[in-house]
Amino acid sequence: MLPTTTRVASQRFGDAPAYFAPDGWVISYRDLDRVSDEVAVGLTRRGIGAGDVVALVLPPGPEYLFGYLAAAKLGAITAGVNHRLTTGERERVLERAAPRLVLNAGGAAPDDHDAIDVGRAGSLAEVLQPLRASGAAPPERVADPEETLAIVFTSGTTGIPKGAEYCHRQIEFITRTDVGDRWGGGARTFTGTSFAHLGFMTKLEGNLRRGGTTFITERWTAADALRLVADHRMTSIAGVPAQIALMLRDPDFDAHNLSSVRFITVGGGPVTPGLADEARARFGAALATRYSCTEAGIGLGTGFDDPAEDAVVSVGRPHAAVDLAILDDDDLPVPPGDVGAICLRSPAVMARYWRDPDATAGAFTADGHVRTGDLGRVDDQGRLRLVGRSKEMYVRGGYNVYPVEVEAELSTHPAVGAIAIGSRTDPVMGEIGVAVVVSRDPANPPTLLDLRKHLATSLATYKLPEDIRVVDALPFTAMDKLDRRALGALIAADADADADADKPDGGVS
């Protein structure tokens, strides 16, 4: 259990640095236990107890870390809320979470909630100072494995975010999968995503068992990541595909000594062949992929010693105790090799959606598989190949087209820095593909003809894009995933502008 692990890590690793705050001061393993005790007592004085929800609307930092650990020691539930959401988005998440208390970054206090404004601490002594009870500790309690520990909200790209509920038993399974019974062996690493994300919320316990040192970045940048890797001789890096791509595009990449890097782990979305090949070559490191979703906890992956193509053409094979099913619209298995809905079942799968029984019922199949919302197929080597989200597929002239498949092929074009495929309506074909491209050389962007020629021998003609937009950067969500909704809006706006330009008298109809 997370509270027990925090105490044992304090005893095992003592004054060893567990975290470095964004501005450089150190948090030891002993500090993690002591300060979270003091915060826990402060929370009880605010009326927080077992089963109460504490929402953390905070950037990555010591405040979030100690708030989470303190709530866990009381049996309270932490609801992580991405601080980068807009005011309206944040309010909708808080309405769903129904917290007893909100710890909120200063200057953006939510309406209609009991909230404490939390400023960024300049030292350990200042962390969550309004809540701390110096030298105090809460009574020891034994957590029930079925008690809810954390609510992890989905990215909300298809509507109001839903809260995936994780109990201690799921976190324990994820920890055993990641580290087994081992203590120690941790290395130096840095944070790259919101602490409200699945990764931090479900893997903190395993990270404490490893005993490594983590450098917290409040707002991740490629320049900061490269500097940390070089200065601290980090052996591994991890991130979503966009972060790996931004590191490779950084103008000072070659000025850093990155020879310590041996391993690259990419998750949060499929890695394109072009990105995988470039990352391996320029970092001089092995690359592995991870695949899951907010509701599944863990899923599939490739190993660093697997054939290099595995991480390019697939997201690997299921982890131990994970059951993968590829199902049709009636929840029946599709024939081997066919495309279907990707569903996962394991002891790591969320317990339910928080305060949303209808959505929970729709999230699971009758036999307990959780629906990921992704489409894919299993190849003849047992590897899962993604073809896209079920709601991203478009139909051209009666044929299904999956954007991820086209993006993978176009990523290898020498003029393409980043690529996304969307669609727009067409009076003849119903829908056609639109390539949204970030050019490696802004002065010489690829043409539509260039892209179609590149695909001519690898994809059927109906899959080829029939329109192109060249942009400075692709849109991303607060979770650093490609924002398909914003991509669609960009394509639609450009199509409307083109239509207006074709009308007489400046577009007046």
Domains of the chain: 1-220 (3.40.50.12780), 392-507 (3.30.300.30)
d(Cα 169, Cα 148) in Å, to the nearest integer? 9
Look at residue 431 and give its three-state secondary structure.
Answer: strand
| Whether the Cβ atoms of residue 301 and residue 289 lie closer than 8 Å to each other | yes
pLDDT at 505: 44
Question: Residue 219: how many CB atoms within 10 A of its CB?
Answer: 10
pLDDT at 73: 98
pLDDT at 327: 97
| Whether the Cβ atoms of residue 264 and residue 242 lie closer than 8 Å to each other | no
| Whether the Cβ atoms of residue 60 and residue 216 lie closer than 8 Å to each other | yes
Look at residue 429 and give its three-state secondary structure.
Answer: coil
pLDDT at 119: 87
| Whether the Cβ atoms of residue 278 and residue 299 lie closer than 8 Å to each other | no
| Whether the Cβ atoms of residue 478 and residue 194 lie closer than 8 Å to each other | yes
pLDDT at 272: 82
| Whether the Cβ atoms of residue 449 and residue 479 lie closer than 8 Å to each other | no
Tokens of 501: 């330009």
d(Cα 509, Cα 501) in Å, to the nearest integer? 11
Rounded to 10 degrees, the C-alpha dihedral 203/204/205/206 comes to 50
Of residues 361, 263, 267, 375, the one with CA closest to residue 319: 267
pLDDT at 509: 26
pLDDT at 212: 96
Residue with tokens 């929370």: 43
Residue 256: Cβ-neighbour burial (10 angstroms; 0-12, 13-18, 19+):
middle
d(Cα 88, Cα 354) in Å, to the nearest integer? 20
Element (H, E) at 58: none
Point out which residues pair with 434 in neighbouring strands. 422, 467
d(Cα 80, Cα 61) in Å, to the nearest integer? 13
d(Cα 138, Cα 102) in Å, to the nearest integer? 20
Question: Residue 275: how many CB atoms within 10 A of its CB?
Answer: 24
Q: Where are the alpha helices (DSSP H) in 350-427?
A: 357-363, 403-410
d(Cα 46, Cα 486) in Å, to the nearest integer? 41
Look up the pTM and report it: 0.82
pLDDT at 508: 30
| Whether the Cβ atoms of residue 201 and residue 176 lie closer than 8 Å to each other | no
Q: Where are the alpha helices (DSSP H) in 119-221?
A: 168-179, 198-210
Q: For each of the chain's 509 residues, which pLDDT tens digit applies?
A: 999 999 999 999 999 999 999 999 999 999 999 999 999 999 999 999 999 999 999 999 999 999 999 999 999 999 999 888 878 778 889 999 999 999 998 765 566 789 999 989 999 999 999 899 999 999 999 999 999 999 999 875 445 779 999 999 999 999 999 999 999 999 999 998 889 999 999 999 999 999 999 999 998 899 999 999 999 999 999 998 878 988 998 999 999 999 999 999 998 777 888 889 999 999 999 999 999 999 999 999 999 999 999 998 899 999 999 999 999 999 999 999 999 999 999 999 999 999 999 999 999 999 999 999 889 999 999 999 988 777 777 888 777 787 888 898 899 999 999 999 999 988 878 789 999 999 999 999 999 999 999 998 888 888 999 999 999 999 988 777 788 888 988 998 876 665 554 444 433 32
d(Cα 247, Cα 283) in Å, to the nearest integer? 10
pLDDT at 461: 87
d(Cα 277, Cα 412) in Å, to the nearest integer? 9
